[in-house]
Amino acid sequence: MSKTVRVSIYGRVQGVGYRAWTEQRARQLGIDGWVRNRLDGSVEAVFSADDSLLDRMLTDCQAGPSVAKVDRMVEQSCDAPETGFRILPTC
């Protein structure tokens, strides 16, 4: 069953390739959604996939690319995005 979550990711996550890494990982796993930087220094993403793939993506996001340092992630349910995965402009 497909599930969709919006995730806010806090820590050293901007200026370290986090969005590009997230896009690449999501596409590898076949996850729909998007990722963008936020003006407050966080990264926001929406992921839509079956439970096992979603859990895997969230676990991977907690680690992030090697130069990132994720302090915390906040998840909430949301509506499903369009198909595919993309990087959105900062908001």
Q: How confident is the model at residue 1 (pLDDT cuts 50, 70, 90)?
A: confident
Query: For 4-51, what is each residue's pLDDT tens digit?
Result: 999 999 999 999 999 999 999 999 999 999 999 999 999 999 999 999
Give the model's pLDDT for residue 56: 98
Which of 12, 36, 37, 38 is catalytic? The answer is: 37
The yes-or-no answer on residue 27 being catalytic is no
**Cβ proximity of 89 and 15 under 8 Å:** no
List of long-range contacts for 40-43, beta carbons under 8 Å, 24+ apart? 41/10, 41/13, 41/14, 42/8, 42/9, 42/10, 42/13, 42/14, 43/8, 43/9, 43/13, 43/14, 43/18, 43/19
The yes-or-no answer on residue 37 being catalytic is yes
Which of 19, 27, 56, 86 is catalytic? The answer is: 19
The two structure tokens encoding residue 59: 């676990």
Domain 2-80 belongs to what topology? Alpha-Beta Plaits (3.30.70)
Question: For the chain, which residues make up each domain, given as ranges?
Answer: 2-80
pTM to 2 decimal places:
0.95
